[in-house]
Amino acid sequence: MSPHTTSSPCVRVLLVDDHAVVRQGLRLFLGLDPDIEVVGEAGNGEEALTEAGRLKPDVVVMDLMMPVMDGITATRALRRALPETEVIALTSTLEEHKVNGAIEAGAISYMLKDASSDTLADAIHAAARGEVRLHPEAARRLVRDFRGAEMRETLTPKETIVLQLIARGHSNRDIAADQGVSEATVKTHVSRLLSKLGLESRTQAALYALKHGIASLDGVEG
């Protein structure tokens, strides 16, 4: 059985950072959460792809600055190979090219290394549910710099509501409950609105909504 379909409540996490002491610290404080299981570690992007392919984690916590293969390149390759695995970009600074690069590569969240253990644990659980979490300052920069493609087709009223809820950090399950429809219906709405907007991920959809005033930063959970 795939780890993604197991009945275990634990979120299976792969830690990727070129500093062993950072990985050790992350492992220690994530170990305080009984619903998170650190299943492996990697010291660079290349190792991350190998370990992710072997372990099939739910979430990868990915450093961006690493030797051999950087985190942005690894995130892009990992999301292509394992679309069910979400990536949280974790770095020490809010350098704009890294923020933009990580999200464009497919990371669902962008967190700073000085985030509290509770904040990171919350982001991991959110990522496992398919919810967007962004550091507030990262969100502001991303919205400012976001350049989406031209809308290919007008969104329906229902798709617009779904887009607003994505921007507010809701998962497909939350949206289904809110709208009184099935998760499968929500997935169809999400797929269609991404196609119409020429976007590839929920995070990009959230940024589009913020950029175009469909949702506000006040509604994004950071």
3-state secondary structure 119-175: HHHHHHHHHHCCCCEECHHHHHHHHHHCCCCCCCCCCCHHHHHHHHHHHCCCCHHHH
Q: Picking from 86-95, 121-130, 210-219, which range would have the lowest pLDDT averaged per residue?
A: 210-219
pLDDT beyond 70 at 218: no
Q: State both tokens at 2.
A: 């795939």
**pLDDT at site 73:** 94
pLDDT beyond 60 at 6: no
What one-character DSSP code corresponds to residue 39?
Answer: E
Query: Rounded to the nearest 10 degrees, what angle do helices 202-211 and 183-197 cross at?
Result: 60
Mean pLDDT score across all residues of the chain: 85
**pLDDT at site 217:** 60
**pLDDT at site 140:** 75
pLDDT interval class at 132 (50, 70, 90): confident
Q: Picking from 34-38, 75-79, 153-157, 180-184, which range would have the lowest pLDDT averaged per residue?
A: 153-157
Q: What percent of the chain has pLDDT over 70?
A: 88
pLDDT interval class at 97 (50, 70, 90): low
Residues 6+ apart with CB under 8 A from 201: 103, 106, 108, 194
pLDDT interval class at 143 (50, 70, 90): confident
pLDDT beyond 70 at 191: yes
